[in-house]
């Protein structure tokens, strides 16, 4: 599944690519009704993404939108 795949990519290439963090955060957001830890996990991935690339406006936007859900 997507969660397992993106975690494997992150383990193999930690802090090297932005895409795995964005996609994993989106996976958690999309599955927020099924996974009790989803919103915290989405936020954590967006925060890592922001640390890696602070100019990514979409990451800030998505992180801010988590509070509205």
pTM equals 0.85
- 3-state SS, the chain, equals CHHHHHHHHHHHCCCCCCHHHHHHHHHHHHCCCCCCCHHHHHHHHHHHHHHHCCCCHHHHHHHHHHCCC
pLDDT in tens, 15-66: 888 899 999 999 999 999 999 999 999 999 999 999 988 787 888 888 898 8
Distance of alpha carbon 19 from alpha carbon 23, whole angstroms: 6
Residue-level pLDDT at 67: 75
């Amino acid at each position: 599944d997507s969660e397992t795949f993106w975690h494997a990519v992150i383990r193999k290439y930690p802090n090297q690519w932005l895409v795995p963090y964005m996609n994993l955060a989106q996976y958690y957001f999309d599955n927020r009704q099924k996974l009790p830890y989803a919103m915290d996990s989405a936020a954590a991935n967006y925060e890592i993404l922001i640390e890696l690339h602070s100019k990514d406006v979409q990451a800030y936007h998505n992180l801010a939108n988590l509070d509205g859900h």
